[in-house]
Amino acid sequence: MTTAESHAITDADVCRDGARDRTYTIWMRDDAGGRYPLVQRSHTPLCGVPAWSLRAAVDAGGGVDFLLQAARPATVVVEVFDLAGRRVIALPAAQVATGETSLGWDGRDDRGRAVPGGKYVARCVTDGRTLSAPFVVLR
């Protein structure tokens, strides 16, 4: 039997040639004591510049602020999907500056109807990256 350990191990955290490399590995361990990599992710932001990230802040009225941390100025497109994978809305493309930018969504679909309460995923495409952030709309 193989079971997943609940912790991640940081393999590297060094800054060289202007990039900070971080690699995280989640390991599997079998009953015989063997250890095998299950998931490995690398993240390479610029040194001294915030990494790209996306998170959602939900208000009680069903509105959402998508908080984008940008490593450099860029054009971004944010889309919202339900858990069945259906696109609820695509927000207009926006120009963002380096640092944190808030992009608001009123909780309505592309037809102007309020979306029901439940779980959703925001997807942001920018600068060759795709970021996602799960969130819950409260109604």
- Region of 61 (left: φ > 0; alpha: ψ -120 to 50; beta: rest) is alpha
Q: What is the pLDDT of residue 27?
A: 54
In the block, tokens 């971080």 appear at 22
What the block records as the tokens of 132 is 């996602």
pLDDT greater at residue 71 or residue 47:
71
Enclosing H/E stretch for 123: strand 118-126
Per-position b or e across 48-87, b if 16+ CB within 10 A of its CB: eeeebbbebebeeebebebebbbbeebebebebbbeeeee
Average pLDDT of the chain is 74
Q: What is the distance, to the nearest Å, from the Cα of residue 3 to the centroid of all Cα atoms in its chain?
A: 27
Checking if the pLDDT of 77 tops 80, the result is yes
Percent of the chain clearing pLDDT 70 (strictly above): 64
pLDDT greater at residue 34 or residue 100:
100
Distance CA 86, CA 59 (A): 23
Q: What is the pLDDT of residue 61?
A: 80
Q: Over the stretch 19-40, which tens digit does the pLDDT of each residue have?
A: 444 444 555 566 676 665 554 4
DSSP structural state of residue 48: T
Q: Domain boundaries in the chain? A: 2-43, 53-137
In the block, tokens 């095998």 appear at 36
Q: What is the pLDDT of residue 84?
A: 92
In the block, tokens 């490593």 appear at 71
CATH placement of domain 53-137: 2.60.40.4070
Q: What is the pLDDT of residue 51?
A: 64
pLDDT greater at residue 38 or residue 106:
106
Q: What is the pLDDT of residue 98?
A: 86
Q: Over the stretch 9-20, which tens digit does the pLDDT of each residue have?
A: 333 333 334 444
How would you classify the pairing of strands 99-105 and 87-90?
Answer: unpaired
